Amino acid sequence: MADQDEKKPAEAKEAQGTKPAKPALSPEQEADAAAKRAARAQAKATGGKGGKGKGKGGGAQAGLQLATEKLRRPEASRLRRLYNQEIRGKLQQELGLANRMEAPKVVSVTVNMGLGDAVANPKILDTAVEELALITGQQPVVTKAKKSIAVFKLRAGQKIGAMVTLRRDTMYEFLDRLISFALPRVRDFKGVSPRAFDGRGNYTFGVREGIIFPEIQQVDRLERPRGMNITITTSARTDEQARALLRHLGMPFRN
């Protein structure tokens, strides 16, 4: 009887149909995903034991702390190793640079989420900060309004958004997940614009829905999909150099 009971869940899953295969993840990405799943499980367990009041808040804080904890990797992230071993040499030859160290590189990645609705409902800001922390693996900074605008009922110093600046391995890990996993999940995706450069080698584009990231799984909990702006700051002197760098990193530019 016990063997039959164990087989029933497996048969039920097979009856539901097979899902399309997901893109393979690197060992670093699997480690990050496992850490974030453990954070969500612990947050849920802690919130359930604590009741409806302080327990849920403590569980959410514990989950965020685990999700944003930096992993100690024995080696650099996959995309960073690829850049140092292959892409840098290719950029030197393609751009005609005399020194290998002159090749452009990514300096930082900034993820900014504007929340105009937080003016009327401040609770939205807490949920957005939690989502941004899960996506980037780093605790966000809450941004405040610099001016008072009466038309929008906005006062100077009021909290209206969240922002994260990523560097080093955390930056490369986020770029790897963004390029190879998140962007292909966009509906009817045809590539990003190749013209969204600022003239100094920095690239900015927008994401309409944050649910393209696999870390955001509780879609029913979202009041509405929230977008974000992603700025990739590079050391390139021209837009052409920055475009070549991002193309070698795998950025899917639209033809």
Q: How high does pLDDT run on average in the chain?
A: 76
What tokens does 73 get? 């990797």
Kindly report the pTM of this predicted structure.
0.67
DSSP-assigned beta bridge partners for residue 206: 229
Q: Please answer whether residues 234 and 198 qualify as being in contact, where contact means their C-beta atoms are separated by less than 8 angstroms.
A: no
R_g of the chain computed on alpha carbons: 21
Q: pLDDT over 70 for what percent of the chain?
A: 67
Q: Could you give the CA distance from residue 121 to residue 124 in angstroms, rounded to a whole number?
A: 6
Question: If you average pLDDT over residues 45-65, what whole number do you get?
Answer: 47
Residue 155 has pLDDT above 60, yes or no: yes
pLDDT given for residue 56 in this prediction: 43
Query: How many helices (H) does the chain have, and how many strands (E)?
Result: 8, 5
